[in-house]
Structure 1
């Protein structure tokens, strides 16, 4: 029996965890567990998780949903979909699920998840991963996906090949659009170029992606952010394609007009945000690599001041 636990049943964990729970609901070979809290845990236990997408709606029941990792015990694969600011705290609390054989796969917005998890569990196999999806927890136990992008990429330079292939098949069988990336660092940075600039700009301007693309001033700001983060990516050995800026603006234009970032949504609802991982980390890398990031620094300072208020 392969035991899979998903920690953090929000937009990302709820969609991909929901797909896994739906397919393996009655399986004798794979058991899917959810780690959730509060009203979310209560509703999923009573009614299952309901997922609404433009192409399908479904409800799924995991083997168990609980806020207590002890009830699940050690698992083979732990998929972390918590917020980046919660990572160390949540990964430490998940210790009852983690044996030396447990593979940990973070699907977070930042690019430093691997290092942060390795610092807590140096003996474990930690992979890297990222997703492209516009998905929100719109009510307890209810996930709403907008747009038709729902891709999952994962990989590891040091991971066990047999385990990587096994998980790929496990994802694909469940109908997940998963890719085992041969250069996961490149893949993660390509996502980070997009999510960091978009999260920073939508939050700073308090505007949707459609609204940003309507004004020359906001497009100029977007280009400034992209130029700065691309210089950092190149210094880190990442291959940045010449048409990266065009690709990102095209991707923005394909999304519904009102689409925004989860960071912007968190600002609007007064929640803790991922500004340190998505904006501040670029400033930090710039300082380390001695690469100027004036636009990122200006917007980060403004966003931190807003968060403090």
Structure 2
């Protein structure tokens, strides 16, 4: 399968690197990372030990073609990614992003089926040309509206062929909200406390993360999705334990003094739940930090 990974940061490089073991992959990202990959290949270490040689570029030609485009940019950059991919000849697209609504943004611009996905693999861009897998997880994908599709089956088979733990799921709406609950509970809490995910397994951080997850479940129910508060909290606990040594993506952003995805995660929940004081507080604190550093 010919695959474009648009947004080759930590997660995009990890998924692209694993896929490159059996597929033709093009990473689209920023220098100096993609420049190094183009010249010397991509190293994947941590839970893996491999070196692959995908194509790598900072910009796609308008006539690019691929069986699949995987979008891994930050939620705020989804529209720009869709614009860059709009003139490409694509068989399908898959969002492996944080936040909600990315699939709608892509579908509005792209003339191909758009799939929704979640990913619990841990990734850290250690240096240009090298990505570290900090934890083996699972990719789940399917139609964003739910149900089954041959395209989802084909993409799932391509991921599985590359050794990526993959589930093709007919219940993606619920899974997307559950992922949002996990991100709402873990990302902002670890970013503000400057702790790894495992610090939320118990102690005071657990209470904050659990409250954020329960609020997310209430927002999901208001949207017609059957996600109970108990299931949302259980998902946070499960992921925090499984990724205990991981630095969450939002924590990585704060450490690097980059803008976070708080608007598409905690802010999204706060705007849709009847009462979400924990998510509102977490969002406001991170927005205050961003503004102080002129990241907004």
In the superposition, the TM-score normalised over structure 1's length comes to 0.86
Q: Secondary structure at the match of 2:131?
A: strand
Equivalent residues in 2 for 1:133-212 (5 A)? 133-147=121-135, 149-156=136-143, 157=145, 161-212=149-200
Shift of 1:254: 3.7
1:8 aligns with 2:1: no
Q: Secondary structure at the match of 1:127?
A: strand
> Is residue 199–residue 264 contact of structure 1 (8 Å, CA) maintained in 2?
yes
Q: Give the whole-Å Cα distance in 1 for the aligned partners of 2:150 and 2:11.
A: 25
Q: Secondary structure at the match of 1:22?
A: coil
Q: Give the whole-Å Cα distance in 1 for the aligned partners of 2:238 and 2:26.
A: 37
Shift of 1:158: 7.7
> Is residue 41–residue 141 contact of structure 1 (8 Å, CA) maintained in 2?
yes
Q: Give the whole-Å Cα distance in 2 for the aligned partners of 1:144 and 1:190.
A: 26
Shift of 1:227: 2.0
Change (3 A) 1:146 1:41: same
Note the residue ranges of structure 2 that are not aligned, 5 or more in a row.
none
Q: Secondary structure at the match of 1:135?
A: strand
Name the larger-Rg structure.
1
> Is residue 49–residue 61 contact of structure 1 (8 Å, CA) maintained in 2?
yes
Which of 220, 224, 243 aligns to 1:237? It is 224
Tell me the alpha carbon deviations over residues 115-164 of structure 1, each in whole angstroms, 9 at most, x when there is no partner.
Answer: 1212333x4311111101111111111111113x3211110148983322
Which of 282, 286, 292 aligns to 1:299? It is 282
Match of 2:265 in 1: 278
Equivalent residues in 2 for 1:66-145 (5 A)? 66-70=57-61, 73-97=64-88, 99=89, 102-121=91-110, 123-145=111-133
> Is residue 74–residue 96 contact of structure 1 (8 Å, CA) maintained in 2?
no
In the superposition, the TM-score normalised over structure 2's length comes to 0.90
Q: Secondary structure at the match of 1:69?
A: coil
Which of 251, 254, 261 aligns to 2:248? It is 261
Which of 237, 242, 245 aligns to 1:249? It is 237
Shift of 1:23: 1.8
> Is residue 33–residue 72 contact of structure 1 (8 Å, CA) maintained in 2?
no
- After TM superposition, what 4+ stretches of structure 1 lie above 4 angstroms from structure 2? 157-160
